[in-house]
Amino acid sequence: MDYKQASDNDLWQCCQQDDMHAYNELFSRYYPRMLQLARRYVRDAMSAEELCMDQLFHLWVKRAEITIATSFSGYLFRSVRNRIISEMRRNIPVMADLDELQEDAQLDRSSDYRLLSREAEHAYRQVLNELSPQRRQVFMLSREENLTYPEIARRMNLSVNTVENYMVAALSCLRKNLKEKVPSAVIPLLLLSDFTNTLL
């Protein structure tokens, strides 16, 4: 088998049959991109590396139990985002934007927190729908599928510079409008995009 040319799904099936070579290929493909995602929100480089390594190690250890119904990349990046969100919830000092968390009420799993989560989800969807169609699509491809700017550019038949401009504009608009609707501490979690899926 040519592991370099194999699809993610084929490699994952091999992993489930205890093929370490297939796992190593998936690791090589995705660890750098996972780390890039983690470093957006984790101040300490070593903590970001440990988070990604732990997630990939968990993938190998639980390979016989994990069922991936969607794309492998989608599953992997959702799991990393969820892990980051969990760490941020626990107020670990190395996480970005934790100074803002201290200014707001404690965001625990109380009924108040769940109410805030529902309100935040509504505000997020409302603001997201106010974006132009292309800005919204660029943002969702970046956050939900974790595509790079060149990958988004190819998908949408745009230049990389245009994609970058759309993303900057989308983030600026989202941050500005969300500040008027939800506590500032919640905004970094909302912009991870899996926030509402993991809270409710």
* Contact indicator for 169, 98 with CB cutoff of 8 Å: no
pLDDT in tens, 2-49: 889 999 989 999 999 988 889 889 989 998 888 888 888 777 788 888
pTM of the model: 0.51
Beta strands, E only, 33-78:
none
CA 142-189-192 angle, 5° bins: 10
pLDDT in tens, 145-191: 778 888 899 999 989 889 988 888 888 888 787 777 665 555 665 66
